[in-house]
Structure 1
Amino acid sequence: MKHLIVADDDTTIALGFKLILEGAGYRVTAVHDGQAALEAFQADPADLILTDVRMPRMDGLELVRCVRGRYAPDLPVVIVSGSVDPDEIVVNRRAPPTAVLAKPVGVSEIVRAVRDLLQSAVEMAA
């Protein structure tokens, strides 16, 4: 079972994402800021991180830089934000699989993005 870390400072959204992704068959750790997500990753590495951008203690983009820089350079990431235009987030096309979604986001869109990125990661590793 693939392990996902969900980081969002809105506890309702974090819990919602957790329930959606658990329902899709994933094991999910939900946390409420980037620092807690980094600590969760260190304790139990994930196969994918789904993160908001603006959060206390450490924002989502810094979280992604830290995890990919220190632990898992090819880690797939889903960035979900209501405060940042997805077009403003530059994704290096040679970087590991990354999806950027704007809130509000639908259930099927989240599940599809996670599934597709995990599949891309498997294909890149092969």
Structure 2
Amino acid sequence: MADPSGLLGAAGASPVSATRLQPSPPPAAPTEPWGPQMAGGGNSSQAPQLFLTSALARGVSGVFVWAALVLTCHQIYLHLRAYTVPSEQRYIVRLLLVVPVYAFDSWLSLLLLGSRQHHVYLDSLRDCYEAS
């Protein structure tokens, strides 16, 4: 009797054993570590540099902080120039001032990251403004 599926390769073999794939051996483990944490390839006693402490991170964050400062200060200027509804615009200006305070505080904290903990004082000033 012929096999209708055509899967039998050898005479007398069952369909299950003929179609079963043999497991492949596991891939060999890499002998050297790789990835961004080991990209330096230098002395193993040196810790890898964090992205937050790189000049690129400081530059990119500075560009965005200064863009936020300029845009927000322009919005504050426009509100103060057309100060027609003081009861509402007072609160709008106070909310708009949150952006430069937080952005500048975060940027300075990033610039001072590392050796000293000066960002604690900056965070305290930010929290005092937020509380008022």
Shorter-chain TM band: under 0.3
Kindly name which structure, 1 or 2, has the bigger radius of gyration based on alpha carbons. 2
Q: Which has the higher strand share?
A: 1
Q: Which has the higher helix share?
A: 2
> What is the TM-score normalised by the length of structure 2?
0.24
> What is the TM-score normalised by the length of structure 1?
0.25
